[in-house]
Structure 1
Amino acid sequence: MSHSERPGSPRRDELLERAYRYALAHGLAELSLRPLAAAIGSSPRVLLFLFGSKDQLIRALLGRARADELAALRQAREAGGAGDFAAAVRATWGWLVDPAHRPMLVLWVQAYARSLGEPDGPWAGFARQTVEDWLGLLADIDGGAAGGDPALGLAVLRGALLDLLATGDAERATAVVERYLRLVAAAG
């Protein structure tokens, strides 16, 4: 087992959770070990020992963010109705548009963009994996094949989300999602 593949420990898990909270507040784009370590009650040396490298720490943070995002989206989808594509998309959008989730979504956009621009760094594969994650969630809806195209649903949700994050105009972005759902219902 290499240094960077060190299994979890209670201290590592605790610091990962603190680092994740820090990343939600400050982003990952310009993450520096010294300020991070000071903010979470550690030292750069301890972080490097526990995570192996800054890149491995970033990978762990991205994994933590994806797990959080997927769990929340799964819960929103199921609250909307696992067999009703429109209800599940609407519930997912309801979660995405909630201002309480903005820090996680901004972090997601930062990681997504870095993944596209730095395909060999710690961000490698993040964008592709999140597309697969979200497509999987939408395709799992029983009515997805008959009532809506998961790839089109993903494109609408992602586009509306990017617009929302850029403009803060929840009303307009929600209207776009609702217009899409009316089109799905009319085509079904």
Structure 2
Amino acid sequence: MSQTARPASAREQELLERAYRYALDQGLSGLSLRPLAAAIGSSPRVLLFLFGSKDGLIKALLARARDDELDFLARTRANDQGAGSDLATAVRLTWQWLSGEPTRPLLKLWVEAYARSLIEPDGPWAHFARQTVEDWLALLTEVQPQDPNAATAMAERTLALAVLRGALLDLLATGDFERVTAAIERYQRLVAPQQQPRDPGPAS
């Protein structure tokens, strides 16, 4: 018989939120339970009781970070529908969020978890990189005009995601907002004419 996960208690949710804010500031790679517990008003014993292990806590923190990502994706879908649905618009709206100063801590955490999931595929980071790629491709699929050539459509989505991911890494490394944003705008100008809805041809 499969076991149903118990719902999180109010205390567990409160400590997870505090731990998440701590992780956004300090990162996850060197996470140690004792300083974390002291910073959030708890103890290692309580954290181990609530989350089972340090790996269990890291998994919970990664899930919390993904909640923020999915919330953004939902808002992007809604905004894109109002602005005109295409990949260029989705890239523009996404870059506005990615490049904002308030988002930087989350994105640094995302980059850290992405890299660790590739290096330690069997640890608490497992599948994080693949999952986030799938999340973003799902968004781009929803906003992309229909194309009868499935392979071409997938290539266009993958290119859009690669441009955003590369621009994000560049921005985090250099802080050169103007240069990187100019590259995003150049990409939009290049692809926008190709992403108009396909003309179905004259009615018979």
- Cα distance 1:11–1:139, how it changes in 2: closer, same or farther (>3 A)? same
Structure 1 residues not aligned, in runs of 5+: none
How far apart are the structure 1 equivalents of 2:77 and 2:126?
Answer: 27
- Tell me the SS of whatever aligns to 1:140: helix
Aligned positions of 1:142-157 closer than 5 A: 142-143=144-145, 145=147, 149-157=156-164
Tell me, yes or no, if structure 1 residue 179 matches structure 2 residue 186. yes
Is 1:44–2:44 an aligned residue pair? yes
Shift in alpha-carbon separation, 1:77–1:93, aligned structure 2, 3 A: farther
Amino acid at match of 2:43: S
Q: Distance in 2 between matches of 1:153 and 1:15?
A: 37
TM superposition score normalised by structure 1: 0.92
Structure 1 contact 77–92 (Cα < 8 Å) conserved: no
Q: How much has 1:180 moved relative to structure 2?
A: 1.1
Identity across the alignment (%): 67
147-156 or 17-26: which moved more? 147-156
Distance 2:65 2:49 in 1: 22
1:97 aligns with 2:99: yes
Paired residue type of 1:181: Q
Displacement of 1:186 in angstroms is: 3.4
Query: For residues 162 and 117 of structure 2, what CA distance do their matches in structure 1 show?
Result: 18
Report what 2:167 is aligned to.
Answer: 160
| Equivalence for 2:87 | 85
Write the deviation string for residues 105-126 of structure 1: whole angstroms up to 9, x where unpaired: 0000000010010000000000
Aligned-pair CA distance for 1:82: 6.0
Q: Give the Cα–Cα distance (whole angstroms) in 2 for the partners of residues 39 and 57 of structure 1.
A: 15
Distance 1:159 1:59, change over 3 A: same
Aligned AA (1:164): L
Paired with 1:36 and 1:168, the residues of 2 have a C-alpha distance of 29
The question of whether the paired residues in 2 share the 8 Å contact of 1:82 and 1:142 is answered with no
Distance change >3 Å, CA 145–CA 58, structure 1 → 2: farther
CA distance in 2, matches of 1:182, 1:144: 20
Q: Distance in 2 between matches of 1:74 and 1:166?
A: 27
Contact 2:24 2:105 in 1 (8 A): yes
Larger Cα-atom Rg: 2
**Structure 1 residue aligned with 2:115:** 113
Q: Which moved more, 1:98-107 or 1:175-184?
A: 175-184
Query: What TM-score comes out, normalization by structure 2 length?
Result: 0.85
RMSD: 2.2
Q: Give the superposition deviation at 1:83.
A: 1.7
